[in-house]
Amino acid sequence: MSRQQREALDDLLRHAPLDVGGDVGEARAVFHDMMTGVPLPPDVTATAGELGGVPVVTVETPASDPAHVLLYLHGGAYAIGSAADAVGLAGDVARRGGARAVCVDYRLAPEHPFPAAVDDALAVYRALLDDGVPSSAIAFVGESAGGGLAVATLVAAKDAGLPQPSSAAVFSPWADLSVSGDSAIGKAAVDPALTPEGLRTRARDYLRDTDPRTPHASPVFADLTGLAPLLIQVGSHEILLDDAVRLAARAAADDVHVELQVWPQVPHVFQAFAVMLDEADAALRAAADFTRAHWAASQATDAFGEEPLAGKESVVRQ
């Protein structure tokens, strides 16, 4: 892996115009321009639609198997971003995973506070099930706030009595809206993209008077027993490092199959930069391998009643 690549990405992010904790309207416009500035590959299609009363964008490539679905939850600190903004990264995930990605355009704060995002994600999952897609053919994927939302939606699905999907892969999850992890301070100097002050501003927009330790808002404080297998990827140069580590520990304590991958000296949601960073491409391939393995395990369980992969935690440092 190239030190020059990592340094170039760090410099790019430090000079980016986005202020996550700034004016919401301005941040949304800047984020949109950043996320859509690179043209999509010509073989990626993005189709707007609706599931469960929630807008979605379905992203497909020639490798997409219509029998498998990636329920994709975008980042943006619950106040920024959209399903359309996420098409680039969702397309990379869909291509490597060989499935279609359904990007959820969940409602944003401050206009729509907690639990709007969870309600929308759960509504889309329920609609996929009602449309006849088996839970064993669905995997969740989320990045940043969308990563925390993916796990929160797993908890909400469990609480609603719905079956779990086959797995979930989350990139740099924001899983603690109290922003209480040690890395919020300890990694601030090396994080080129996020600040604890910015995250706290957006958390107030989303939560209003809700306790940030509420499980459907901050899954590091949830009972994760019975959740689908989890893959958690995080960079060591980000203030959300402890969110990922504590989420993995919580899952392991609750007997969830969880794999934690900490990638050295890379920033928040580094997977979005596969065109310029070798680690990003490798991480996306690892996520695709994880997802496909658990689709296969879930299908074996459906067919033969075998036990799925379960009960281990592994830490991979690359």
Domain residue spans of the chain: 3-317
Catalytic annotation present for 236? no
Cα-based angle 146, 272, 231 (whole degrees, multiple of 5) = 55
Pick the CATH number of 3-317 from 3.30.450.20, 3.90.320.10, 3.10.580.10, 3.40.50.1820: 3.40.50.1820
Distance CA 289, CA 93 (A): 11
Confidence check: pLDDT of 303 > 70: no
Confidence check: pLDDT of 315 > 50: no
Q: Which of 238, 259, 279, 298 is catalytic?
A: 238
Paired sense of beta strands 313-317 and 45-51, if any: unpaired
Distance CA 170, CA 20 (A): 20
Residue 315 token pair: 């830490």
Quote the pTM value: 0.94
Residues 162-205 have pLDDT tens digits of 999 999 999 999 999 999 999 999 999 999 999 999 999 999 99
Q: Which of 64, 135, 136, 144 is catalytic?
A: 144
Q: Which of 268, 279, 294, 298 is catalytic?
A: 268
Catalytic annotation present for 268? yes
Catalytic annotation present for 50? no
